[in-house]
Structure 1
Amino acid sequence: MSPREVAVIGAGPAGLAAGAWLARQGFEPVLFEAADSLGGQWNAASPMSGVWPGMRTNTSRVLTAFADLDHAPGTPVFPAQEEVLGYLHRYAAQAGLLPRLRLGTRVEHLARAPGGQGWLLRSRGGGQERVEVFARAVVATGRYNAPLLPDVAGLGSFAGEAGVLHSFGYAGPAGYRDRSVVVAGCSISALEIASELALAGARRVTVTLRRQRYVLQKLTAGVPTDHVAFTRFSALAGAVMPPAAVAQGLRNLVVSSTGSPEQVGAPAPDADIFAAGLTQSQHYLGLVAEGRIRVRPWIAGVAGREVTFADGSSEAADAIILGTGYRLSLSFLAPEVAQALGLDDQHIDLHDHTFHPELAGLAFLGLFDQVGPFFPVLELQARWLAYAWSGAVAAPDVAAMQAGLAACRVRRGGPQAVPMHAMALLFARNAGVEPDPDRWPDLRRALLFGPLSPASFRLVGPDRCADAAARMMTDAALFGCLVSPSMTDEEAARWEAVRAGLRANAA
């Protein structure tokens, strides 16, 4: 067992980021991938992938990237699945990960090694079983690969000719042309699938939901919404403002840009946006307004082709597509490891989503339920992990991790999704790479109100880059916003109020 060798389970965005940053810190990562190619969810050919060919990202290319590699020239603002997969292949090659990949190799068991030193990993690839011991291991298998099916009376008896399908298995609209489809759920995938079906010739599309969420579109006044909604200022303000004020501010942002769903004929969401939830779809609200998507309450039952809703209405359907989310599945973990983690279908107890005090040498990457752009957060978590293990930054001690576990357990009773900007700042601070806006007066406006781009976390700390400031300013000005480096009077006043709150908290 080499003390520098690390097993990384998964070669999607999380596993590739972990491998790249561990290698930069002198480790020797070995990436295990069950599919025949890297890419994770973005490899549509993988049985573990829930994307479909031609699917577009709901995050902009600036925030669907890592700091060390831009997308290819000509990539659209919202790249297609094939373009993201090509990007991941280029990233893996640039990071020197291709020789470190074990493709077509499924990890079947992960446990403490005998004697408690290292991690025993049993894998199977090419019909051969292999048992190895690694000094460390990283679980980066993804959060969205085990479909969660709702308990609906009679669902198994559905007799529509196109059947029942979870959105994980959706492969595009061709099979639903001129058919009546019920789409269950109000997540991004449910609304995007419903919209695609309505635009691609389905005879009738009905969305059925337990609660109406607020809906953001991909663009706000020509700017990608993730550049506007997930800023450093919003994250900092959320740490000092009363929760009710944070909720009202977010609701105002959403309603001012896209309206509220009841304006176009959908149900009215809860006035508290955190209670209602937030989703995203470029076309959904417009299609509801045009009557091309109908909205009904949740399914009460199914009998043959007839789908009955909670309000007593019903309709005959040819297909039911379930956009009802995912359960957390880590079946390869040894029972004693799963027990230490408090693992169930939705929860895992970790300090800052990464470490556990009883499981030294084991880390988890990207297993949180997140709202907003994913790639920058994965990179920051991978950097913290690599820095903590190499000693580039101080690793959390047992007391800190115990406190982190306690906070994690408290959150079990509430919403599990975490906004991208809050998660990004958490990992950036842990990694020592969060710049103080007041120390960069020429960059302050872009740092606070511009997109939370990967380049903005290369200004300070380990692996800072000389061109980070220029790249960050380019990202901020890309869509015609924040061209001026000076804050407006309103922005300056808002920042002063938040800064005063941060100072009070620190004191």
Structure 2
Amino acid sequence: MPSNAVAIIGAGPAGLVTARWLLKHGFQPILYEAADGPGGQWNATSPLSGTWRGMRTNTSRVMTRFSDLDHPKGTPVFPSREEMYAYLEGYAEKFGLMSRIRCRTWVERLQRADGGGWLLRSRRDNMVLTERFARVVVASGRYVAPEVPSVPGLNGFTGALGAAHASQYVGGHAYRCQDVLVAGCSISALEIASDAALSGARSVTVCYRRQRYVLPKLLSGVPTEHVMFTRAAALAGEILPPEALAAGLKAQVLSVAGAPDQVGAMAADDNIFAAGITQSQHFLPLVAEGRIAVRPWIESIDERAVRFADGTQGDFDAILFGTGYRLSLPFLAPEIAATLGLDHKHIDLCDHTFHPELEGLAFAGLYDQVGPLFPVLELQGRWIASAWAGVIPAPSHDALAVGLARGRAQRGGPQSIPMHILALLFAQKAGVEPDLSRWPELERALLFGPLSPVSFRLQGPDSLADAPALTAEAAAAFGAIRTPEMNDEQRDLRDLVTGAAASHAA
């Protein structure tokens, strides 16, 4: 292989955007993709896709795109699965990536090569190929290995439609006139329950161990992530004590969405960080209308009968487990997996990307997301490409070791990471976090508007001449921020986070 060749495992959003920036900086990426085309989860024909017919994004088109390709005119606020697949295919075509994707190719093994670099063994049909690379990016996805918990009697469930993981959900049409149980309180669980109820299921029940606070997809006509996942919120999180931050976040959530128990769901923990946040446009209204029932977790199953922890019981035709995914990287050689401390939930990395003992190996998109993902993937891909190309200083071994220790210390904490936190982290690492003092006319948009991908093209490597206008346009897209003037509350928060913003710019 040429010395500038880079293997990328996976041609989903993370793999594609990383390949685009590697190519921009002089590398020759080769993408290994198990499906028949790019797109990852958004490719309905992929054997690893957990999407379903009728599924739409949870984040707006402004935040579910990359910085240098917009969605076609007329795309709805929340694009469909098919529109997202077309977008990613168009992105691959625009940047010359299609010819670099080896489709229907499974990576079977990644191991160290004698003398340095990496050996990658792949299989397509009956042909096995082993190649050597100086650099490899693992972008195979966080949501590919469904997790189904152990439940007494589950194997004996006799409902007509059986029990399955949410990744096997094909759409509400399959559950019309059926009694459906959805287990879990994640976004996918609540969206599937809502879809089944709106598609004509006879009854829908949702059960879970922990009630999360539930945000809708729109707040007064503005996509939720434009309001909640902002730079100001991320910077405030760096300087406020946890209890103050939790109280402020809870007050904000209650003001726009209310408490779940107000409408018949269970009561959430008073500490919003302990409870967690999920999202669904229709779940709480459907609970309020009695079209979705809520129960605590499953105690046992006896044929069609499911008994819940509160002693209630119901008969069901189908059970769908929206209970998440294991972290699965089965192609990593055992010694690499051991170095990474890899298990079904954790991987030890410096800032989710590099490891000091694994030179030339990077990871992209393997975090459990909360919020808009595409801007974060692009920033991480830009950091990897710029560091390897020498556009910015690569992190030293000592810096990586410090970051690795910091990550290991956080192992026992929450696994889900708010994407606005990661966006600022990767932007700082890539040298593209905008200095607010340089953009006074954009201050309100940058602090209180969406963390749009183009807002990270204002300065630093790969800046765009029209980034200021596009950043303002993204902030004004849904009417939340049309003028540079701030209200009193925003001014107070601006003053509070100015120091944190300055430290990022430095």
| CA distance in structure 1 between the partners assigned to 2:256 and 2:505 by the alignment | 34
1:407 aligns with 2:373: no
Residue 315 of structure 1 corresponds to 314
- Residue 131 (structure 2) pairs with residue 132 (structure 1): yes
CA distance in 1, matches of 2:379, 2:155: 43
- 1:344 paired with 2:359, answer no
Partner of 1:394: 393
Match for 1:395: what amino acid? A
Written as runs of structure 1 = structure 2, the 5 A alignment for 1:90-129 is 90-115=90-115, 117-129=116-128
Once the 2 structures are TM-superposed, how far is the Cα of residue 488 of structure 1 from its aligned partner? 2.3
Residue in 2 that maps onto 1:85: 85
Secondary structure of the corresponding residue to residue 194 of structure 1: helix
Check if 1:416 corresponds to 2:415.
Answer: yes
The aligned residue for residue 51 of structure 1 is 51
Q: How far does residue 504 in structure 1 lie from its aligned partner after superposition? A: 9.4
Tell me the equivalent position of 1:233: 232
Distance 1:345 1:109 in 2: 18
Q: 2: CA distance between counterparts of 1:18 and 1:500?
A: 32
SS where residue 150 of structure 1 aligns? coil
* Deviation at residue 506 of structure 1 after TM alignment: 11
Are 2:428 and 2:505, in contact at CA under 8 Å, matched by a contact in 1?
A: no
**Are residues 1:453 and 2:452 paired?**
yes
Q: CA deviation at 1:253?
A: 1.6
Amino acid in the other structure paired with 2:330:
S
Q: 2: distance between equivalents of 1:489 and 1:411? A: 36
Distance 2:297 2:226 in 1: 33
Cα distance per residue 1:38-67 (max 9 Å; x no partner)? 110000111110001221000000000000
- Confirm or deny: 8 A CA contact 1:6 1:27 kept in the other structure: yes
Identity of aligned residues (%): 61
Taking the aligned partners of 1:177 and 1:481, their CA distance within structure 2 comes to 39
1:321-378 deviations in Å (ceiling 9; x for gaps): 0000000000000001000000000000000000001100000000011100000000
Question: Where do 4+ consecutive residues of structure 1 move more than 3 Å?
Answer: 500-507
What does residue 305 of structure 2 align with? 306
Contiguous gaps of at least 5 residues in structure 2: none
For residues 375-423 of structure 1, the C-alpha deviation after alignment (integer angstroms, 9 at most, x for no partner) is: 0000000000000100111111111111111111111111111101100
Matched residue pairs, number? 506
Counterpart code for 2:15: G
Q: TM-score, normalised by structure 2?
A: 0.98
Equivalent AA in structure 2 for residue 227 of structure 1: H
Partner of 1:290: 289
Query: Distance in 1 between the 2:202 and 2:126 partners?
Result: 46
Name the CA distance, whole Å, in 2 between partners of 1:313 and 1:285: 21
Question: Which residue of structure 1 lines up, in the alignment, with residue 27 of structure 2?
Answer: 27
Give the Å deviation of 1:490. 2.6
After superposition, the C-alpha distances for 1:118-139 in whole angstroms (9 at most, x for unaligned) are 1100001132111110111000
Aligned to 1:151, the other structure's residue is in SS state coil
Tell me, in whole angstroms, the C-alpha distance in 1 between the residues paired with 2:83 and 2:249: 31
Output the aligned Cα RMSD: 1.3
Counterpart amino acid of 2:265? A
Where does residue 431 of structure 1 map in the other structure?
430
Asked if the contact 1:240–1:502 (Cα under 8 Å) also holds between the matched residues in 2, the reply is no
Give the distance between the partners of 1:31 and 1:54, measured in 2 at CA.
Answer: 29
Structure 1 residue identity aligned to 2:185: C
Number of the residue aligned with 1:74: 74
Report the secondary structure of 1:45's partner residue.
Answer: coil
Contact 1:118 1:136 in 2 (8 A): yes
Q: Which residue identity is paired with 1:405? A: L
With over 3 angstroms needed to count, the CA separation of the structure-2 counterparts of 1:88 and 1:501, relative to structure 1, is: closer
Single out whichever of 286-295 and 118-127 deviates more from structure 2: 118-127
Q: Partners of 2:498 and 2:74 in 1: how far apart?
A: 39
Residues 502 and 231 (structure 1 numbering): CA distance in 2 closer, same or farther, change over 3 Å?
Answer: closer
Letter of the 2:35 counterpart: A
Q: Indicate if the aligned counterparts of 1:213 and 1:278 stay in contact, CA closer than 8 A.
A: yes
2:162 alignment counterpart: 163
Please say if residues 326 and 344 of structure 2, whose CA atoms lie closer than 8 Å, have aligned partners that are also in contact: yes
Q: Deviations over 1:405-445 (max 9, x none)?
A: 11111111111111011000000000000002122111111
> Structure 1: 5+ residue runs without aligned partners?
none
Q: TM-score, normalised by structure 1?
A: 0.98
Structure 1 Cα separation of the partners of residues 504 and 103 of structure 2:
48
- Over residues 434-480 of structure 1, what are the superposed CA-to-partner deviations in whole Å (9 max), with x where a residue is unaligned? 00212211111100001110110000100000000000100111111
Deviates more, 1:487-496 or 1:161-170: 487-496
Structure 1 segment 360-399 matched on structure 2, within 5 A: 360-399=359-398
Q: Does the C-alpha gap of structure 1 residues 24 and 503 become closer, same or farther in structure 2, counting only changes over 3 Å?
A: closer
Q: For 1:79, give the aligned amino acid.
A: P
Inter-partner Cα distance in structure 2 for 1:504 and 1:88: 35
Deviation of residue 501 (structure 1)? 6.1
- Amino acid corresponding to residue 179 of structure 1 in structure 2: Q
Shift of 1:258: 1.2
